[in-house]
């Protein structure tokens, strides 16, 4: 099967007609147009093939910083996530804390946070610092339309968020149903040494850390005093079985 009959039949047919009608003097022009068409086709196809590379590697930010517990212990933490598990991709929301909210015996919230309060998404990329000012105080909202004999409360805790934009705002963070076994928590890996990213062309890449030096940690929000986040770093591909070292080009696990 010829290239003409398969891919460029309309162009080739036009070339044949032009040759018969105008003679051999036009044959060179027709072939020039054919070659130009093939060149354009290859030029379009080449970038499309190149885009199927590994550009996705290195695009996911790695969050790291300093965790201070309510007990006064300080940890250097990395691979920070917020959710019901370390791998869960929960969309966690923050609810602007009403100024009229006062402590009481049961600490009930009269407004439905999902419907009556201003919200913001809990995005670590935009957060500089998280503070838990009252770890022993929880707030509860009961659905008045619940058909249960004893409605299950949704439990919240106050957090103070300092955004990278500069503003500091008090929010209510929903932990989940009261007495749940899977509340919203902070998950991370603990390392013994400070983490310093490697800056390259305006991007901060993650430094070399051996997997053996990472210790898993889950921190319920009532156990957190502060979490101070550094500028996130980014992964880059590695060829040494996931172990980060100090190469010419920075790599990460």
pLDDT value for 44: 40
* Higher pLDDT pick, 44 / 222: 222
Contact yes or no for 107/97 (Cβ under 8 A): no
Q: What is the mean pLDDT of residues 31-46?
A: 48
Q: Which residues contact 236 (CB under 8 A, 6 or more apart)?
A: 57, 58, 205, 206, 249, 250, 251, 252
* Higher pLDDT pick, 129 / 27: 129
Q: Nearest CA to 184 among 195, 171, 194?
A: 171
* Dist CA 237 CA 56 (whole Å): 10
Q: What is the mean pLDDT of residues 170-181?
A: 92
* Higher pLDDT pick, 69 / 202: 69
Q: Beta strand pairing status for 93-96 and 203-205?
A: unpaired
Q: What is the mean pLDDT of residues 165-188?
A: 94
Which tokens is 43 given?
A: 């030029």
pTM value > 0.95: no
**Orientation of helix 27-50 relative to helix 9-22, angle to 10°:** 170
* Higher pLDDT pick, 94 / 181: 94
What SS3 class is residue 15?
helix
Average pLDDT, the chain: 77
Where do the domains of the chain lie?
A: 3-50, 61-234
């Amino acid at each position: 099967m010829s290239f003409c009959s398969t891919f460029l039949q309309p162009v080739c047919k036009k070339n044949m007609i032009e040759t018969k009608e105008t003679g051999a003097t036009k044959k060179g022009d027709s072939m020039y147009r054919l070659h130009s068409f093939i060149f354009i086709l290859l030029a379009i196809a080449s970038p499309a093939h190149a885009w199927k590379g590994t550009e996705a590697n290195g695009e996911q930010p790695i969050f790291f910083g300093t965790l201070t517990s309510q007990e006064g212990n300080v940890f250097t933490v990395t691979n920070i996530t917020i959710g019901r598990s370390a791998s869960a991709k929960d969309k966690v929301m923050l609810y602007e804390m009403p100024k009229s909210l006062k402590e009481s015996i049961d600490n009930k919230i009269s407004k439905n946070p999902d419907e009556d309060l201003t919200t913001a998404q809990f995005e670590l990329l935009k957060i500089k610092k998280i503070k838990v000012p009252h770890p022993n105080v929880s707030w509860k909202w009961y659905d008045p339309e619940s058909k249960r004999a004893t409605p299950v409360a949704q439990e919240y805790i106050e957090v103070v968020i300092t955004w990278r934009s500069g503003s500091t705002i008090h929010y209510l963070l929903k932990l989940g149903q009261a007495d749940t076994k899977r509340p919203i928590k902070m998950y991370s890996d603990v390392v013994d040494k400070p983490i310093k990213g490697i800056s390259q062309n305006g991007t901060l890449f993650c430094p070399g850390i051996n997997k053996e030096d990472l210790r898993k940690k889950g921190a319920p929000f009532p156990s957190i005093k502060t979490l101070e986040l550094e500028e996130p770093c980014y992964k880059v591909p590695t060829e040494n079985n996931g172990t980060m070292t100090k190469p010419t080009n920075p790599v990460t696990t």
